[in-house]
Amino acid sequence: MTDSKKFLDLENYCKELGSIAVAFSGGVDSTFVACVAHRALGQKAVAITVDSPYIPQWEIEEAKQLAASIGIRHELIEVDIPDEIANNPFNRCYLCKTALFSLVQEKARKLGFSYVADGSNFDDTKDYRPGLKALAELQVKSPLMEKQWTKEEIRAASKQLGLATHDKPAYACLLTRIPYDTKISLADLVKIEKSETYLMSLGFRAVRVRCHGEVARIEVNREDRPKLFDERLLDTISAQLKGYGFTYVAIEAAGYSMGSLNRELPTE
């Protein structure tokens, strides 16, 4: 794959841009883009990671390690919760992408980089992705989308490149755990992060803890439900999450569903 026409085309795309700042979360897609950009451009590529209260610290640390393993220069931008999304509005992703990518672009300009690129891939065009509108307005480059790379292709190529992210589960910021039109509190974000980190330590790789006020609603992969539905383990998990500040701990019987809180979006 790494010497295939499609891969070489992606490398050449990066070379033609001259210099790239990759918005780098440490996920499957942005790690692949950062790796390709670094191979193509060397020191003319940089990875920029946003560190905010709704990004888990384990993910920030993992991004640092991944950037070091790739060899790409890595910069951090520390930001608070943007005022525009303080109440978690329905268009949160659009507002958030606009605010954060504007900061990434400003950082990139100061560092002398011509373009900002993200990890949006071709499959993202088939899902509800309001953030894509913000990226288009800001003229952020999306190499994987433009060159029609699917998630499956990205994972396969990442494995051949030796990237640790090739089988990393999909992840999203902690705001996706909170219902829309709900004031975001740092206390809730801390509860969610601690709860998910704990559940991942038990071996649940794809896990979400949705925060409904005092209620934690746990989602795990459907195939992990038999492991979760163990009485002793449930007692332990309940006690642990209540220790983090939740009053009630519930289980989503159907298992993990990406963007499950999007069910609350208004329909026309």
Could you read off the pLDDT of 99-147 as tens digits, one per residue? 999 999 999 999 999 999 999 999 887 766 777 889 999 999 999 999 9
pLDDT over threshold 80, residue 64:
yes
Look at residue 262 in the predicted model and tell me its pLDDT.
62
Look at residue 268 in the predicted model and tell me its pLDDT.
45
If one counts the domains in the chain, the total is 2
Do residues 145 and 237 share a domain? Answer: no
For residue 260, count CB atoms less than 10 angstroms from its CB and return exposed for 0-12, middle for 13-18, buried for 19 or more: middle
* Structural domain ending residue among the three candidates 115, 133, 167: 167
Judge whether 233 and 224 are in contact, CB under 8 Å: no
What DSSP string runs through 185-203?
-HHHHHHHHHHHHHHHHTT
* Structural domain ending residue among the three candidates 143, 167, 191: 167
Nearest-angstrom CA–CA distance, 188 and 199: 17
Do residues 63 and 189 share a domain? Answer: no
Look at residue 46 in the predicted model and tell me its pLDDT.
98
Do residues 96 and 181 share a domain? Answer: no
Do residues 190 and 99 share a domain? Answer: no
Nearest-angstrom CA–CA distance, 59 and 245: 22
Which whole-number Å values give the CA distances from 113 to 11, 17, 81, 116, in the listed order?
A: 17, 10, 26, 8
Question: Where is pLDDT greater, at 130 or 61?
Answer: 61
Do residues 54 and 85 share a domain? Answer: yes
Pairing of strands 20-23, 207-212: unpaired
pLDDT over threshold 80, residue 211:
yes
Look at residue 263 in the predicted model and tell me its pLDDT.
59
Q: At what angle do helices 231-243 and 186-201 cross, to 10 degrees?
A: 150
> Which among 86, 176, 182 is positioned nearest to 131, based on CA atoms?
176
Q: Which domain holds residue 194?
A: 174-264
